[in-house]
A and B are shown apart, each in its own frame.
Chain A
């Protein structure tokens, strides 16, 4: 298709004195064009499948009656608090005013995965409970990311829950933020 037959004219003899013109082939090397074509094909194939948005399931508890709320063992509970600027705070068990500053630690999304796994390994599965509390200054991404962390660390459903933050905890976050210079 892309070639033209130029050889037919070459066989017959030219008259004397007629100089033979240099014959240029019209054959074009199509290899780069093929390369380009397949490159584009692969590009389109990859980009279209990757752009698909996914959906994450979310189960909210029925929190009408607080008496029904699960009682959590102190030894198995880890509370993760979400703060401003992707900052995380956590403590084990219950917050005790006497040991508050030792209990309340700050961390980041990079380190939380290890902390979650460590806690999971150190606790009998029946006692295990992660309590997630979001401060009003944290964002939607944090809330989803921490739930995703639970899934990544294969924490079974029912062993983590989102709970409203208490004023005392919000205050602790404020103070820690001020101490760490997070605005």
Chain B
């Protein structure tokens, strides 16, 4: 009987191709992930089990640790309308060129009566040094004025869309009265639904909600 000779093959596999794939994927993920805009305001939001993703272009109210409040107005066209509206209502007396300059700001955190003078400065004030929108005074809560202009601009549109765009982001250490003042500004404008930016976390195992979701 002739013996069948099985040729012995090396078990070494060429890793080059695999290496190429790995690094191709790596570079793809690095390039494809959206670069987060650098956080101007260092804010650590609290955690919640909510799984809804916060929208990017939003009317965002930021509360910093030291209790200052800022507003950012989302997409450019609306922003210009909102600024125009607040300019006429609060009689800030800004010229069109000043308005355009004002529109370039991302975080608004100045008392309205200081806006005109701040626009005359050659360098804009860095966001960290802004005093914040005055909210502590119940009679002159300027966030109310801001939100009034926001509602004015969105008046003819789908209110549900606006609700989804209204976001409050706050540092966990902000004292409750600050949050209450912000809420008050919302309520004064008949805005009862808004959203809080949080860091997502999983539903704790063994909790009621966890059991409920298991049953389904």
Contacts and interface: CB of A to CB of B under 8 A. Distances in A.
A134 B197 contact: no
Contact of B33 (A31, A48, A135): A48
A82 interface: yes
Interface string B146-175: 000000000000000000000111111111
B46 A55 contact: no
Contacts of B167: 55
Given A55-B52, A152-B207, A34 B174 contact: no
Contacts of A70: none
B136 to A, nearest CB: 12
A24 B50 CA distance: 60
Interface residues on B, range: 35 or more
A54 B208 contact: no
A44 B26 contact: yes
Contacts of A151: 48-50, 209
A53 B199 contact: yes
A29 B173 contact: no
A153 interface: yes
B26 A152 contact: no
B29 A45 contact: yes
Contacts of A50: 200
Contacts of B180: 134
A117 B208 contact: yes
Given A33-B19, A139-B173, A140-B172, 10 more contacts: A30-B16, A54-B198, A55-B167, A56-B197, A63-B187, A139-B176, A143-B176, A148-B198, A152-B203, A152-B208
23 contacts: A1-B16, A1-B20, A2-B16, A37-B19, A38-B25, A41-B22, A41-B29, A52-B200, A54-B51, A54-B52, A54-B198, A54-B200, A55-B50, A56-B198, A57-B52, A57-B193, A60-B183, A120-B208, A139-B175, A139-B176, A141-B172, A148-B48, A153-B208
- Closest CB pairs A-B (n = 3): A37-B22, A141-B172, A30-B15
